[in-house]
């Protein structure tokens, strides 16, 4: 039970340390995106990509925000990886989607991208493209937020409480934060079944 009790104590600690004003600002930023008719593009890799797929459903169904995740189309993702390289898969996808300044990028990531360490460079290239066209950048990231926190407009950083459990806590809290958002009165347009 040692791991279990420690883990859930840390979950409570993260909840206490989370910057709630940043979560509120994220909700308001997403509401503004919807009001201007912008689309939302969810970017993440690994477990964060899986969270993106679920979040696409919630933002579309519950909040009436037109939302997509490039990782949901495995054929295009692997074709771009094969033909152009992994680092540019998101930037190429966003360019083909005709990303504009009215749109938003929402990053789920454990580290937020780190070019120096060659980690999540595809996120970095996607964010650079988003900055180039003037799209709004949102994020829920762990550690110090990485490149996402540096260039983002509204980014929530999941506090690190244990260096050995950064990934599980960051990916779990992506879900906690996005479920808070899709049930927030400024965003939710349709109620959940339960």
pLDDT in tens, 169-185: 999 999 999 999 999 99
| pLDDT for the residue 153 | 98
Backbone angles phi, psi at 22, to 5 degrees: -70, -35
Residue among 54, 73, 94, 68 at smallest CA distance from 182: 54
| pLDDT for the residue 13 | 98
State both tokens at 164: 């050995």
| pLDDT for the residue 95 | 97
State both tokens at 90: 């998101």
Partners of 154 in beta bridges: 138
| pLDDT for the residue 50 | 97
Whole-model pTM?
0.96
| pLDDT for the residue 143 | 95
| pLDDT for the residue 184 | 98
The segments of the chain whose pLDDT lies below 50 read none
pLDDT, one tens digit per residue, over 88-127 is: 999 999 999 999 999 999 999 999 999 999 899 999 999 9
Distances in Å between the Cα of 129 and the Cα atoms of 94, 124, 136, 144, 192 are: 8, 9, 11, 22, 35
Q: Which CATH superfamily includes the segment(s) 2-182?
A: Glucose-6-phosphate isomerase like protein; domain 1 (3.40.50.10490)
């Amino acid at each position: 039970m040692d791991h279990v009790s420690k883990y859930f104590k840390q979950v409570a600690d993260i909840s206490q340390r989370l910057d709630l004003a940043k979560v509120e600002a994220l909700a308001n930023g997403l509401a503004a995106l919807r009001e201007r008719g912008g689309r939302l593009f969810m970017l993440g890799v690994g477990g964060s990509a899986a969270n993106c797929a679920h979040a696409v459903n919630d933002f579309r169904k519950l909040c009436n925000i037109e939302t997509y995740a490039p990782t949901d189309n495995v054929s295009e993702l692997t074709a771009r990886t094969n033909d152009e390289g992994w680092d540019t898969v998101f930037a190429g996808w966003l360019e083909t989607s005709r990303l504009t300044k009215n749109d938003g990028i929402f990053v789920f990531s454990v580290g937020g991208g780190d070019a120096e360490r060659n980690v999540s460079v595809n996120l970095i290239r996607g964010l650079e493209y988003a900055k180039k066209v003037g799209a709004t950048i949102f994020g829920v990231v762990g550690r110090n937020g990485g490149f996402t926190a540096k260039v983002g407009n509204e980014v929530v950083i999941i506090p690190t409480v244990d260096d050995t459990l950064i990934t599980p806590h960051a990916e779990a809290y992506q879900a906690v934060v996005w479920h808070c958002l899709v049930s927030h009165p400024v965003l939710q347009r349709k109620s959940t079944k339960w």
